[in-house]
Copies of this chain bind each other. A is one copy, B any other.
Amino acid sequence: MDLDTRLLRYFVAVAEEGTLTRAAERLYVSQPALTKQIRQLERLLGVRLFTRSRTGMTPTEAGRLLAARTPGLLADLDGLLREARSVERRGARVLRVGFLASAANEATPHIIAEFGRRRPGWRVEMRQAPWSNPSAGLADGDVDVALVRLPFPGQEALRITPLFSEPRWIALPAGHRLADRAEIAFREVWDEPFVAAVPEAGAWRDEWLAAAERDGRPVRVGAVTDLPDDWLNAIANGFGIALAPASAARFYARPGIVYRPVSGVSGSEVAVARSPADDGNAVVRDFVRCCVRVAGPRQDAG
């Protein structure tokens, strides 16, 4: 008798949400799909897991037992797979580094070089992540260490070492009414449509909409993008404007887009992150040390 972990995840979601419809949207599947899957799980186990009613799904006794213990089991499985990945990488002397957009800017190659000196024989594998994954794959165990922008959801569960901060500028389409201004006050664009990250990015998305720095004003979202190129296209095509690290003017310069300094909005914090599970991992520690040494305390990367 076989079982897909998807079924278990579905089940847990339904048990937690209490209704199929809410669980379905949380899982990004349709409600009928969930209906069928939960029924199938019940059929597979030969156990009634929920009692249905118009008010939702309430777990039976067996359902509660399962709901209580399944998450731990899934976590065990996840940990095991993660460990297997880590073993393989250590064996191959590969360190996977996740990053978002321009990572640590001009410092990035120096960090890699420094790490190469400290750990000869090791290879660094850089993996760019979409904004839907603002931990750059660290939370999923896809990478060993990540160059990220703070804050992002889930960072409490990780070890964060801040590196430097840089001002934020604003990216505009070339023909924009403010495109010729030397500097823009953030409040001038409060009512402009913004190009935003996907909702999953949570606090990270809000940070780049500066949602907390608009004096309570609501945000207008003109487009939602998940990757630098989509983001650039959306701006160039006039769907909206966006905050960007000052360094974007160098790393993401392209025709049809201009970057302008903006006042009245906080800077962006760059950090290196690693998993607590790697606390004992000397290679990861070395990489973090290299980051601090090269891009550390001085604010040389503005």
Contacts and interface: CB of A to CB of B under 8 A. Distances in A.
Interface string A45-75: 1111100000000001111011001100100
A85 B4 contact: no
A230 interface: no
User: Which of under 10, 10 to 19, 20 to 34, or 35 or more describes the interface residues of A?
Assistant: 20 to 34
Interface stretch (A76-84, A107-115, A217-225, A284-292): A76-84
A129 to B, nearest CB: 15
A71 to B, nearest CB: 11
Contact of A62 (B77, B88, B142): B88
A73 B62 contact: no
A5 B3 contact: yes
A88 B84 CA distance: 36
A177 interface: no
A140 B69 contact: no
Q: Which of A45, A49, A77 has the most CB of B within 10 A?
A: A77
Contacts of A88: 47-48, 60-62
A36 interface: no
A76 to B, nearest CB: 6
Q: Which of A4, A6, A65, A84 has the most CB of B within 10 A?
A: A84
Interface string A1-26: 11111100100000000000000000
B140 A47 contact: no
Given A3-B5, A4-B3, A88-B47, A69 B65 contact: no
B83 A73 contact: no
A85 B9 contact: no
Contact of A91 (B45, B61, B66, B70): B61
19 contacts: A2-B5, A2-B6, A2-B9, A3-B77, A4-B4, A46-B85, A46-B142, A47-B84, A47-B85, A47-B88, A49-B84, A61-B87, A62-B84, A63-B84, A65-B84, A65-B87, A66-B80, A73-B73, A73-B77
Given A3-B4, A47-B84, A61-B91, 18 more contacts: A2-B4, A2-B9, A3-B5, A3-B77, A3-B81, A4-B4, A4-B5, A47-B88, A48-B88, A49-B84, A60-B91, A61-B88, A65-B80, A65-B84, A66-B84, A69-B80, A73-B77, A76-B76
